[in-house]
Structure 1
Amino acid sequence: MIFAGNRPNNLGVREGKLALCPPSPNCVSSQSTDSLHHIAPLSFTSSPEQALTNLKNLILSLPRTKIITETEDYLYAEFKSAWMGFVDDVEFYLDHKSNIIHVRSASRLGYGDLGVNRQRIEQIRAKLN
């Protein structure tokens, strides 16, 4: 774990919102309004509870992934890169009002991510659908 970094202290849901992305391009969020960071939220057709269970099972099936926090409407997982052990913090927030799952995926260290965070969310979206 050469480049694990420290777990951020600004994660979680506050007033229905995940943390803002930093100005650097190594973060995506479905709640971001700028094109650099914005990514579509995850949608589902099952019950919200089943959607979160399906998401959790998918995350647990991925390599080098650990769920850190889990509530009835929130999942926080750490994804570790195979190369050098870089850690990305990935959050999922189930919005019951809109029937969507908001996402935020951010690199813990560095500036750029070569699109890894966006690709991860799109892979999760494809596997869920």
Structure 2
Amino acid sequence: MLRTIFKPVTAVIVLTAGVVGCASSPPEQFTRSDNDFTPCSSAPHCVSSQAEKDSGHYVEPFAFAGTADGARQALLKALYSHDNATVEQADNRFIHATFRSTLGFVDDATFVVQPHDHIIDVKSSSRIGYYDFGVNRRRVEDLRKRFKAELAGA
């Protein structure tokens, strides 16, 4: 009897999570200024190059040696090469991409090109939930590898 009830309940939970993940809207504001992201919440589903280095949220920014425009183009190519990425906005210094999981959950990745520092700050965060099981951190590191490969090939 318990197994008979468990299967429909599990299906409802998975379907509800998928619908909520698909329906969740992006955060209204990604940055506090032209150079600064909004901070990560206390939930561990966010990484940022602007977080405190000793926090669990910190990740290194993307470094580049050439021009800011060349780095921006390399980052866009890295994003376009990612199967689950959609570039939502790409301005001179600000890039916003979304990543959709197979279950329909959406994560936001934002980037700010800092031309004078020769870095691209990055923030990647899940829209809903608490844990992401390290997905955002792994995604940022994968994008870093793709970015470096694009820079090397340019």
What TM-score, normalized to structure 2? 0.79
The structure richer in helix per residue is 2
| CA positional deviation for 1:102 | 0.1
Larger Rg: 2
| CA positional deviation for 1:15 | 4.5
Q: How does 1:8-23 map to 2 (within 5 A)?
A: 8-12=27-31, 14-23=33-42
- Number of equivalences: 128
Secondary structure in 2 matching 1:127: helix
Q: Are 2:125 and 1:106 aligned? A: yes
Name 1:37's counterpart in structure 2.
57
- After superposing on structure 2, the runs of 4+ consecutive aligned residues of structure 1 that deviate more than 4 Å are none
| CA positional deviation for 1:63 | 1.1
The structure richer in strand per residue is 1
- In structure 2, distance between residues paired with 1:15 and 1:127: 25
Give a deviation string over 1:34-85, Cα, whole Å, max 9, x none. 4210000001122110110011011011112111111101100001112x11
- Which blocks of at least 5 consecutive residues in structure 1 are unaligned? none
Cα RMSD after superposing both structures: 1.3
Matching residue within 61, 79, 87 for 1:67: 87
Q: Which has the bigger relative contact order, CA under 8 A and spacing at least 6?
A: 1
Secondary structure in 2 matching 1:68: strand
